[in-house]
Structure 1
Amino acid sequence: MPSVSSVPPSSRDSVAAALRAAGCVFAEDEADLILTTARTPAETAAMVARRVSGTPLELVVGWAEFRGLRITVAPGVFVPRRRTEFLVEQALAQAPGATVVVDLCCGSGAVGAALAAGLGRVELHAADIDPAAVDCARGNVAAFGGRVHQGDLFEALPVELRGRIGILAANVPYVPSDEIGLLPQEARDHEPLVALDGGTDGLDVLRRVAAGARHWLAPGGCVLVETSRHQAPTAVDAFARGGLTARPAVSEERYAHVVIGVAP
């Protein structure tokens, strides 16, 4: 097994071999990303060492691709998943004319940035309870004129947004507390628990969003959350109890399940 210290940093084959030996399934692709991101041989070697030690690739290179955007990510911030692109697609299909967009539980701000990129000129707001996420999101939504707020769900939002939101994307934590230990090590070790743990059945935060969303949505506005297959029926019921017309949407290809609630 090649050691990191023995890998010539400029050699794609050697970098890929070190990554493959460490268990990276897409070693060649990861090697390309590291080699094109690093500015010096020493930086390449340091990146390879971090990846071999188990640091997620996105944190090693400092960014993640999301709907064609390069989203900056930082240590301690939830890394956007490619399956969440399905939530963005559903939002754009449901409300193509939305002019006010909120990315709640925003993490890096990837969803808000992608929605703004897809819609054009919008009033964009993002919010998260975690200061590290807020700092990270500011950089990612700045290009779209977005504002980022810190606080607990709707408490973080400016009151003038009530009744005006066309798209409320809330990528809430939905992993049941007793299943956190089953997550991949990269998530368990490098992402904040507050962005993963959804309570006993995984739906604690989702229920709070469902209960309050109608008061913030414009007439015909929509709220979208990501969930799991077995949680989706309960999530639909929570949205209905919150006064919304609710339905699930599924992408089998991406293992993505989204629940959409529409205000009357």
Structure 2
Amino acid sequence: MSLRIAAIAALALAAPVAAQTAPAPGPADVELWRLDCGGVQVNDLNAFSDTLAYTGRTKRLVASCYLIRHGGDYMLWDAGLPEATIGAPVSKTDAMSPVLTTTIKRQLAQIGVAPEKIGRIGISHYHFDHTGQATGFPGATLLIGKGDFDALKAGKPGTSTEPLRPWFGGAGKSEPVEGDKDVFGDGSVTMLTMPGHTPGHHALLVRLKGRGPVLLSGDTAHFRENYDSNGVPPFNVDRAQSLASLARFKALAGNAKATVILQHEAADVAKLPAFPASAR
């Protein structure tokens, strides 16, 4: 055998071994920011109880959104109140009065993230305080529960495609999510089906290397007392599904030992570092 043939044969034998012993790529670095996406002054807290548990009570809710960096990819979770809300007076008589002082884009600019870098927008559900600034990111792929997607397309009562017009009637790419979805394919960010508040409502599980799992509620529950007592708002589309989703959410939180963030509860949102700091 010539030296040339012997060398080729040796390389051929070594190739499978090299392939078998090559180290697998490590998990992507994941980073999570909490964003200020507004608030809601609730002047009649019974708006969140179909058993009238909060008669005569008021509460200021926050409307939080979240930025997730997965390696070099960016995802926005929920899109807050519409920018047009900035400067609107707070009503002391309306059942609910929205409040907004800054925008998602302004906050992203503080950490050097251009809107064009947002590759995905995950929407927990179609309500206006979770979709309000989505149109500012028309190049992102919209991830939304299939039940909500179908309700929006059908124009069901309580829905509006206007806050999501790049993906409903525009050229934006959308992905209706049925069931759970492993967003990046490595288990680090998972949309969790939690129907009941809306037909396709989802929560989000983010696994951070240092801090551990963080469970973002969407509107599975709105505030801590509501969560602890399994309270159901009268405007939820399905009471039985709402209670089943609450049970699943709590079981997941316990089994994963996750930090629970109720997205409308200021004390829960404060568990994460104040922007522009992040959790990792």
* TM-score interval, smaller chain: 0.3 to 0.5
What TM-score results when the alignment is normalised by the length of structure 2?
0.34
More helix by share: 1
What TM-score results when the alignment is normalised by the length of structure 1?
0.35
